[in-house]
Amino acid sequence: MPDIAKRPSVVPAVVYKDSMAAFEWLQAAFGFEPAMLITDEDGKLAHSEMVFGDGWIMVGNEWSADHKSPANLGGKCTQTVHLQMHEGIDAHCERARAAGAEILMEPEDQFYGDRSYRARDLEGHIWTFGQTVKVIAPDEWDKDSGLKTKTWP
C-alpha cells in the first residue's frame, strides 16, 4: 500500500463528471494503483489518490464553475498529465486501447531518445506516456533536430 505521508511535491488533480468510473477506469486502462478513496454517505467518490510508479494523482469531481471535466467543456483540455515508464510502453498502449482509450498518437520514437504515445481518456483528458529507449545527450539531439536546449544542474 502506498504511504500517503510520502507523496511527491507535485500531485496533479484530474477532475471528472463521474469520478468513481474514472477511478476504476484509470486502474484498468493505465495501471494506476489506488492509494486513497474517500466516499460520502451515498457511496459517491469525495476524494481519491492514485499511484503510478513513484508519481501520484488526485481524482475528483467537478466542484466549481472553474473545475470541469473536458466532457463538459466541448472536449477541450488545458493541460496534459505525462507518465514516464521504465518498460513496456507498447503493451501499455495496447492495454489502454483495449480499455477504451482513444489513441491520439501511436507509440513512436522521439528525437530525444524516448518512445512515447498519447491517449484520450473516457471524459476527454489527454495523457502522454514515455519510456527512454536510448540515452541521448541534449547537444546530440540539438544537432539532429535544429533545436537549442538549455539545462540546469
Please write the tens of the pLDDT for every residue from 51-92: 999 999 999 998 888 888 888 788 888 788 999 999 999 999
Q: Contact, 18 vs 44, CB < 8 A?
A: no
- Residues 139, 88 share a domain: yes
Fill in the DSSP letter of residue 93.
Answer: H
C-alpha dihedral (148, 111, 81, 34), degrees to nearest 10: -140
Q: What is the pTM of this model?
A: 0.89
- Residues 83, 52 share a domain: no
The pLDDT value recorded for residue 153 is 85
pLDDT band at 6; cut points 50, 70, 90: confident
- What is the C-alpha separation between 126 and 120, in angstroms, rounded? 4
Tell me which residue range forms the domain holding 114.
79-147
Average pLDDT of 85-100?
Answer: 97
The verdict on residue 152 lying in a domain is no
- Residues 18, 56 share a domain: yes
Q: How is residue 12 written as a grid cell?
A: 496533479
For residue 46, the domain's CATH number is 3.30.720.120
The pLDDT value recorded for residue 132 is 97
What average pLDDT does the structure give for the chain? 93
The verdict on residue 94 lying in a domain is yes
Question: Which residue in 4, 125, 119 sits closest to 60, CA to CA?
Answer: 125
Asked whether the predicted pLDDT for residue 104 surpasses 70, the reply is yes
